[in-house]
Structure 1
């Protein structure tokens, strides 16, 4: 967990590595006093606020667009970025982010981080090309921000590796583990995405990439452009990128862009309609904890546990720094020569939201995952268990196009007063990293235009299914 930010009440800590609008140089640490309080119960000052607060001007007549984003995981931060990017330049904007555990501290930060646009059977997912493109763009934004301001980062993850790597561009390899899977993989590999190509390898070629790999059917599919992302570090960098963009937009358009982070829960949507033009709900599995939406979305919960293994310092056989991560019945996401994450378990209908894992739960996860992973990579038997983390995923229903996220306006479900519109981004499931760029962009466009019709029908068709169930 990142260290807490100890700030005096009403005081905002600002980034130190972004340009001062009143200066051509770099600014030192600045502070801005909050002049407003939230109008609803259990309100607090934001943990972190964008520097555009320093430019507050009482003589401006335009009312700001006011958005609340509930959740600071993949979906929530993507929505924030795209609201800033695509919002009208002629209007000031304020975005309040609410997340009781902070940036990327929920299920998003627990994900394995293996990124590619294919199913486990190497079939290109519906919308895979566009999802891949939008995700790569957000990764580039976060990576640029991280490289520019690593020394002055506001938040740091104590679980991060010492080299500070956010993206491992070493590809992913999927060996066939049965004759049936070999035939399916071979057929699907013929239809791949140019931006993330697939290569068919025999045993020798696969073992050139991973010397100790077991390839029982002399067949493997290799994704050379696939990546392994450190999700927590990526989300922290994307959050800082949003701050940077808010500063830049405030300067270039002469209209304020303000971002506030409130590390507090929202137990009910009641009262938000008086405060905001739109509320975008990106709470993942926790959406069911809102009384207004409990039981009204066709989502299933599934808890996943990921185990961390390390190769002891006195043990030889380091994992190659060019060797890809491994997909199989259990995946192996390597983040260094002696560090790997192994996942994931699937506990359906769980209500355990905690990221911490008990000794008993960790033991069960190892019993389930380790035999599957070591069957493909036998050298894993030299590695030792050092920890585990868990997260509760919100899984969407199966459609003719696969399991797709749920997007849409919820005003017909939530009785709203005033002009506020409620939107939901949910059901990203185990592919939140792949989907988040596209669904964040589409949702931001729908929110800005106040028009659900800009969303593809494939992402909103769930509403018809849900209405049939309720009626």
Structure 2
């Protein structure tokens, strides 16, 4: 029996494509997030798969019509760690306690002002302390997403070579205006449209998502500046305005939070860019004054689909939406939804993707934690 699944996604064209890529499993107070261990483990697996696909240079060339031939001009992952300055003394005792419960695969260290300067000279922490995550990473979102697509194609090719014929992965560059457009030949339809989910009339007004537009700036250190370069070992900075380091003289700075926005455009008006740069530089320069020596090379924006707040934090939305789109599944599931990953998509996506695949293939949401499906009970 053949099984066909149709996955509707943005292909990294939304907030995922402009994200800073700072990846770690902790909350702002260094507390391990809900299911943070599972998510971190799966994220590391996915990154290793993407990096292996990147090394398949000839295979990438075969797919140059689908993947930019310049997409791999740089690394997918920068393994340089992340440092988070502590801005308030009252937070230190809470963070000390949370550090005791950190993951061995992503340890946390509490640094005093002397240790901070050894790790990243020039960084200022108002409290005199900072949290350091030496195993945390910085991911280039677009290279990563396209490498995963290459990996999917390679898997199909390898399976066909050992006798598992009939398996295919096809990529269609087209806009889906309604679920009604999708042929009934598909066994399942998985909707992963992020902030674009409500563009489907069947889901308009029925998802508890909170929209938020964010601006990310890409900075370069001018060639005439002899100082201020980032060394290979210098970590990225996680704060109200974060700095994701991409090289000695290149980094991304973000992000703004414009709640309630419905502006899907990645491009910015001159006023929006000026306002965003002023806001971000004002915050970042307090912690890292040398950032004033860098210049803005470009800026882009994305619309995040934030989930509702719960007692466990902001948890993604997962599960069958047959009842929401008016489909009588007869006990199984045909229409599935994964969204509301918000600003933690890099952390959640691998684990959620595994849960979704299991649910779709078994036509059952039994293995999906109830915390991710309770949102439907409130609709």
TM-score greater than 0.5 by the shorter chain: yes
C-alpha separation between the residues in 1 aligned to 2:119 and 2:72? 23
Instruction: Give unpaired runs (5+ residues) of structure 1.
Output: 1-61, 72-98, 467-471
Cα pair distance change 1:191/1:436, threshold 3 Å? same
Q: Would the alpha carbon gap of residues 458 and 418 (structure 1) be closer, same or farther in structure 2, given more than 3 Å must change? A: closer
2:209 corresponds to 1:296: no
Distance 1:438 1:291 in 2: 28
Is residue 2:50 matched to residue 1:142? Answer: yes
CA contact (8 A) 1:274 1:418 kept: no
Q: Does 1:433 align with 2:335?
A: no
What whole-Å deviation, never above 9, does each CA across 1:33-89 have from its counterpart, x for those lacking one?
Answer: xxxxxxxxxxxxxxxxxxxxxxxxxxxxx4x21110000xxxxxxxxxxxxxxxxxx
1:68 aligns with 2:27: no
Establish whether residue 104 from structure 1 lines up as the match of residue 16 from structure 2. no
Among 350, 369, 372, the residue aligned to 2:283:
372
Alignment of structure 1 residues 12-411 onto 2, 5 Å: 62=1, 64-71=2-9, 99=10, 103-149=11-57, 152=61, 154=64, 155-156=67-68, 162=73, 164-272=74-182, 274-317=184-227, 318-411=229-322
Mark the structure with the bigger radius of gyration: 1
| Native 8 Å contact 1:166 1:234 kept in 2 | yes
Whole-angstrom CA distance in 2 between matches of 1:65 and 1:146: 29
Q: Quote the residue 2:371 is aligned against.
A: 458
Alpha-carbon offset, residue 110 of structure 1 = 0.8
1:90 equivalent in structure 2: none
Shift of 1:417: 6.6
Report if the CA contact (8 A) 2:72-2:143 is conserved: no
Sort the Cα spacing of 1:384 and 1:179 in 2 relative to 1 into closer, same or farther, 3 A: same
SS at match of 1:315: coil
Q: Tell me how far apart the structure 1 counterparts of residues 110 and 185 of structure 2 sit (CA, whole Å).
A: 55
Aligned length: 372
**Conserved in 1, the CA contact under 8 Å of 2:122 and 2:290?**
yes
SS at match of 1:65: coil
Q: Structure 2, unaligned stretches of length 5 or more?
A: none
Instruction: Give the Cα separation in 2 of the matches to 1:435 and 1:335.
Output: 23
Q: Is the 8 A contact 2:189 2:336 kept in 1?
A: yes
**TM-score, length basis structure 1:** 0.76
Instruction: State the alpha-carbon separation in 1 of the partners of residues 329 and 265 from structure 2.
Output: 36
CA shift at 1:180, angstroms? 2.5
Moved over 6 A (4+): 417-420
Q: Is the 8 A contact 1:157 1:232 kept in 2?
A: no
TM-score normalised over the length of structure 2:
0.94
Check conservation: 2:322, 2:328, Cα contact below 8 A: no
